[in-house]
């Protein structure tokens, strides 16, 4: 089947096409299936027969004049989420293709990046959205805390204070899905104070020049749109020296599992450590509404050595604990490219219940850099 332009728009544009009668849910599903054939391996569970039935039902409802933000849109659910996530999308009328893999073992599908054995990998969910197989997906850790943030693949990853997340093509697509499934996201109605950090939790972090310039450009851009932009590294350095290192790789869900496996005499200590860690993280955000950090320390660098080539990939570990451990809302968005065309992502982290402000800031960055591209 020949691909058509409906393969490429995200959730917002596909919903408009359906509302105008310019396409049908069955046609959207057919183009999805066409792309799906090349990316079946990033799914762990697929039920195309059920998806076709859902598309037929969506078309009947559309023909009766019904409208819904997700009605007829092809979407997916990450296999790290419970069945209830699938049910939420189905209740909104979405055509759920199946479950995508949360495992980060797939190559970055961004065009133009040369393949090497040492490429940093991404989740199957990110690949499904970035390649246009689905218009959006519900996922855990949607901003990306592994080797490559969502913005480094050219998509937007958003996570709420409660830990639920959405991956979609653009910030507008994310907001569209979030509102459709009933998550509360209110726009900021006051001036914002934006903090900028190039080091994150480690005073020894070495953010490479292209990534540093991207964050500085974002800071300059935001200074034109918000009340105040400040260097937040001195404040983070004074607080993060006490952060408990064993918890840097764990989020709230993993930390809760400690009570199941830690011997009883030590459980009180673990709870106290978690409480102390939360207090320290809260202090790190004192005085700012949104914190801007690099998505990772920078694109891969190569160095010629006798007998081979050393490849140094960027790392997310100095920055991702700020939202993974705290449970604060976060979003990863592309903020430009380096000279070689590698995507340069930034991660925005907001104080609790400031998801609307977070998406508003992300949209400013996205619109400036025009990152919505055909997959």
- pLDDT (tens digit per residue) in 153-174: 889 999 988 778 999 999 999 9
Residue 207 belongs to some domain of the structure: yes
Last residue of a domain, one of 140, 160, 183: 140
Q: Please tell me whether residues 243 and 132 are part of one structural domain.
A: no
Residue 166 belongs to some domain of the structure: no
Q: Please tell me whether residues 200 and 315 are part of one structural domain.
A: yes
Tell me, what's the pLDDT at 248? 44
Cα distances (angstroms) measured from residue 294 to each of 69, 191, 207, 269: 32, 23, 8, 33
Tell me, what's the pLDDT at 340? 76
Cα three-residue angle 191-195-196, rounded to 5 degrees: 135
- Secondary structure class of 130 (helix, strand, coil): helix
Q: Please tell me whether residues 135 and 205 are part of one structural domain.
A: no
Q: Please tell me whether residues 131 and 225 are part of one structural domain.
A: no
pLDDT in tens, the chain (375 residues): 344 444 467 899 999 999 999 999 999 999 999 888 889 999 999 999 999 999 999 999 999 999 999 999 999 999 999 999 999 999 999 999 999 999 888 887 876 555 544 456 789 999 999 999 999 999 988 887 566 888 888 899 999 887 789 999 999 999 999 999 988 777 777 788 999 998 887 766 778 888 899 999 999 999 988 778 998 887 776 655 444 444 444 555 555 655 566 666 666 666 676 666 667 777 778 889 999 999 888 766 555 556 554 445 556 767 887 787 778 899 999 998 888 777 889 999 998 888 888 999 999 999 887 644 444
- Measured between alpha carbons, how far is 156 from 216 in angstroms, rounded to an integer? 20
Give the chain's end-to-end CA distance (angstroms, integer): 17
Q: Please tell me whether residues 116 and 21 are part of one structural domain.
A: yes
Q: Please tell me whether residues 197 and 51 are part of one structural domain.
A: no
Q: Please tell me whether residues 267 and 126 are part of one structural domain.
A: no
Q: Please tell me whether residues 130 and 220 are part of one structural domain.
A: no
Q: Please tell me whether residues 226 and 332 are part of one structural domain.
A: yes
Q: Please tell me whether residues 135 and 198 are part of one structural domain.
A: no
pTM here is 0.85
Cα atoms in the 13 Å half-sphere on the side-chain side of 191: 9
**Residues 174, 117 contacting (CB under 8 angstroms):** no
Domain that holds residue 324: 193-369
Last residue of a domain, one of 110, 140, 170: 140
* Number of domains observed in the structure of the chain: 2
**Residues 332, 185 contacting (CB under 8 angstroms):** no
Residue 75 belongs to some domain of the structure: yes
The distance from CA 193 to its chain's CA centroid, rounded to whole angstroms, is: 23
Q: Which two tokens stand for residue 241?
A: 């020296």
- Measured between alpha carbons, how far is 285 from 290 in angstroms, rounded to an integer? 8
Residue 302 belongs to some domain of the structure: yes
Tell me, what's the pLDDT at 303? 55
Q: Please tell me whether residues 114 and 235 are part of one structural domain.
A: no
Stated as kind and residue range, the H or E segment containing 305 is strand 301-305
Tell me, what's the pLDDT at 263? 66
Residue 169 belongs to some domain of the structure: no
Residue 292 belongs to some domain of the structure: yes
Residue 80 belongs to some domain of the structure: yes
Residue 148 belongs to some domain of the structure: no
Tens digit of each residue's pLDDT (9 = 90 or more) over 290-337: 999 998 887 665 555 565 544 455 567 678 877 877 788 999 999 988
């Amino acid at each position: 089947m020949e691909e058509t332009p409906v393969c490429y728009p995200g959730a917002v544009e596909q919903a408009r096409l359906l509302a105008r009668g310019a396409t049908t849910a069955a046609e959207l599903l057919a183009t999805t299936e066409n792309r799906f054939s090349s990316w079946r391996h990033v799914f762990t569970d697929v039920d195309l027969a059920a998806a076709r039935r859902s598309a037929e039902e969506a078309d009947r409802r559309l023909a009766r004049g019904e409208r819904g933000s997700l009605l007829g849109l092809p979407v997916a659910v990450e296999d790290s989420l419970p069945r209830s996530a699938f049910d939420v999308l189905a209740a909104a009328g979405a055509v759920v293709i199946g479950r995508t893999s949360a495992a980060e073992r797939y190559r970055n599908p961004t065009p133009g990046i040369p393949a090497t054995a040492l490429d940093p990998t991404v989740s199957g969910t990110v690949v499904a959205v970035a390649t246009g197989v689905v218009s959006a997906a519900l996922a855990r850790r949607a901003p990306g805390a592994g080797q490559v943030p969502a913005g480094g693949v050219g998509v937007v990853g958003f996570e709420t204070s409660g830990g639920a997340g959405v991956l979609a093509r653009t910030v507008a697509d994310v907001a569209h899905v979030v509102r459709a499934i009933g998550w509360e996201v209110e726009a900021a109605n006051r001036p914002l104070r934006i903090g900028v950090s190039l080091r994150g939790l480690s005073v020894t972090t070495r953010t490479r020049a292209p990534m540093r310039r991207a964050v500085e450009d974002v800071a300059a851009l935001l200074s034109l749109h918000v009340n105040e932009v400040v260097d937040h590294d001195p404040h983070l350095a004074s607080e993060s020296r006490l952060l408990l290192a064993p918890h840097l790789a764990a989020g709230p869900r993993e930390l809760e599992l400690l009570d199941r496996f830690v011997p009883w005499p030590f459980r009180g200590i673990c709870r106290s450590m978690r409480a102390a860690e939360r207090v320290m993280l809260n202090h790190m955000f004192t005085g700012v509404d949104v914190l801007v950090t690099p998505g990772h320390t920078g694109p891969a660098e190569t160095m010629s050595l006798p007998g081979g080539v050393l490849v140094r990939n960027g790392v997310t570990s100095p920055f991702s604990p700020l939202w993974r451990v705290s449970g604060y809302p976060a979003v990863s968005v592309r903020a430009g490219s380096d000279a070689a065309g590698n995507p340069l992502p930034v991660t925005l982290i907001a104080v609790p219940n400031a998801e609307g402000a977070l998406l508003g800031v992300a949209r400013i960055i996205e619109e400036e850099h025009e990152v919505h591209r055909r997959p």
